[in-house]
Amino acid sequence: MAEKVRLASVGLGRWARVQARGAQRGDVIELASCFSRDEAKRSAFQQEFNIPKAASTWEELLADKDIEGIILTTPNDTHRTLIEQALQAGKPVYTDKPIAATMQDAASILKTAQSTLVPFAVGHSSRRLSGHRQQKKWIEDGTLGPVSLAQANFSNERGLELTPDTWRWYADKSPGGAYIQLGVHHADTLQYLMGPVKSVTAHARKLYTKSEVPDAIMSILEFESGALGYLGTGWASPGVYTLSLQGTKANLFYDLDFTHWDDAHEVDNFSSLLSQEYGESSRSTVKLPLTDMFKEQLEEFALATRGQAKIEVGAVEAVRALAVIDAALLSNKRNGAAVEIAEVLDTVGVVL
């Protein structure tokens, strides 16, 4: 068996633990180091995941020739600085979604990734869920027929739990609240399934959270194909994760139990994909092969650091997803007027 790829975890909070468990479910990755500015966090993370060493500074980690890549799970507004420093030091980076907190930061990261050519991946993991892979297959093999309408929702109760000591409380660190934290998953997956979004119309409201960010957002996406999509997301309800497609030959209804989201190797057992054929009113169950979105994306990244795999979601795809979020927030400021994705990209000098 080939020597495992040596990666380091950076930003050692709850989500770093979810990713670490995903990495350790396979035999491709060795978590060889970790870093947090908090020494107690470093020590606890190192012990929990049996990691041989921990860097005492960010600079020390970047200089460690034994580390082949970085798994970054720090707050969104820190992404640009850390990603660019790592890429410029020749260290491949996997970062959790979104690519950044702002389009300006995302554009800068895109430029750095393209100029350095160092492997860079973004954790838009939901497109790897078995239900979405099956939806993509039905589109590509013609079983679904051309799609005219899509409906997606990703919501949970996080907005009711936010406190001022958490970074997601603040509008400058988490613009759009649930939309940039949850909706951005569907912003990527919908474009994976249906192609690029052309324009966005949206309304956002802050109803029940005490934080600075909205907890209810509804948007209509117009795709370049002419198809339309609804993308809703909220932070004031129990977890919801759905995505339905309406084609000329069939409909597909995907529903996932969000309470199992962190256990990616089991979540397909708590999901359903139903099909409705043209001319039929009944719905049939579509079998979902088991997947593991976190393990899969991290192993793909790890192998890419050695030139042995191609990264599915890099800077370009992540910028497209964030552009939908930015367009929705701008549309809300304009009282629901449609905002072209081209305008959002032009503002930061990006051509995709």
pLDDT in tens, 8-62: 999 999 999 999 999 999 999 999 999 999 999 999 999 999 999 999 999 999 9
43 and 110 assigned to the same domain = yes
Place of tokens 């979810």: 18
**For residue 187, is it within any domain?**
yes
**Domains in the chain: how many in total?**
2
Check pLDDT > 80 for residue 99.
yes
Rounded Cα distance, 119 and 63, in Å: 17
Rounded distance, CA 92 to CA 197, Å?
Answer: 29
Which residue, 265, 285, 264, 266, is CA-closest to 274?
285
Residues 202 and 84 in one domain: no
Residues 249 and 328 occupy one common structural domain: yes
Do 62 and 89 contact (CB within 8 A), yes or no? yes
Residues 190 and 150: beta-carbon distance below 8 Å: yes
Q: Verify that 300 and 249 share a domain, yes or no.
A: no
Binned at pLDDT 50, 70 and 90, residue 163 comes out as: very high
Mean pLDDT for the chain overall: 97
**Does one domain contain both 100 and 134?**
no
Q: What is the pLDDT of residue 243?
A: 98
The residue type of 143 is T
| pLDDT per residue as tens digits for the range 261-271 | 999 999 999 99
Contact 168, 162 (CB under 8 A): yes
Would residue 51 count as lying in a domain?
A: yes
Note whether residue 37 is domain-resident: yes
Domain that holds residue 76: 5-125+296-312
In a shared domain, residues 12 and 64: yes
Whether residues 34 and 120 share a domain: the answer is yes
Per the structure block, which two tokens stand in for 26? 């396979």
Q: For residue 262, is it within any domain?
A: yes
Domain presence at residue 351: no
Same domain (yes/no): 108, 132: no
In a domain, 343, yes or no: no
Residue 47 CB neighbours (<10 A): 10
CATH of the domain at 153: 3.30.360.10
pLDDT band (50, 70, 90) for residue 2 = confident
Question: What are the tens digits of pLDDT across the range 249-285?
Answer: 999 999 999 999 999 999 999 999 999 999 999 999 9
User: Is 318 domain-assigned?
Assistant: no
pLDDT tens string 177-187:
999 999 999 99
* pLDDT at 1 (0 to 100): 54
Say if residue 114 is in the same domain as residue 223: no
High-pLDDT (> 90) share of the chain, %:
98
* Alpha-carbon separation of residue 341 from 108, 122, 224, 249 (angstroms): 18, 20, 10, 30
Mean pLDDT confidence for 80-92 = 98
Do residues 243 and 147 touch, judged by C-beta distance below 8 A?
A: no
Indicate whether 225 belongs to any domain: yes
For the segment 229-236, the average pLDDT, to the nearest whole number, is 97
How many residues belong to the chain?
Answer: 352
Span 147-160, average pLDDT: 96
Same domain, 103 and 232: no
pLDDT at res. 47: 97
Return d(Cα 48, Cα 17) in angstroms, integer. Answer: 9
The mean pLDDT of 305-334, rounded to a whole number, is 98
136 with 114, same domain: the answer is: no
Indicate the angle between helix axes 184-194 and 315-333, nearest 10 degrees: 120
Instruction: Please indicate, yes or no, whether residues 134 and 252 belong to a single structural domain of this protein.
Output: yes
93-96 and 120-123 strand pairing: parallel
Which residues contact residue 108 at a Cβ distance below 8 angstroms, ignoring those fewer than 6 apart?
Answer: 80, 84
List the CATH number of the domain containing 14.
3.40.50.720
Which of 292, 313, 302 is CA-nearest to residue 25? 292
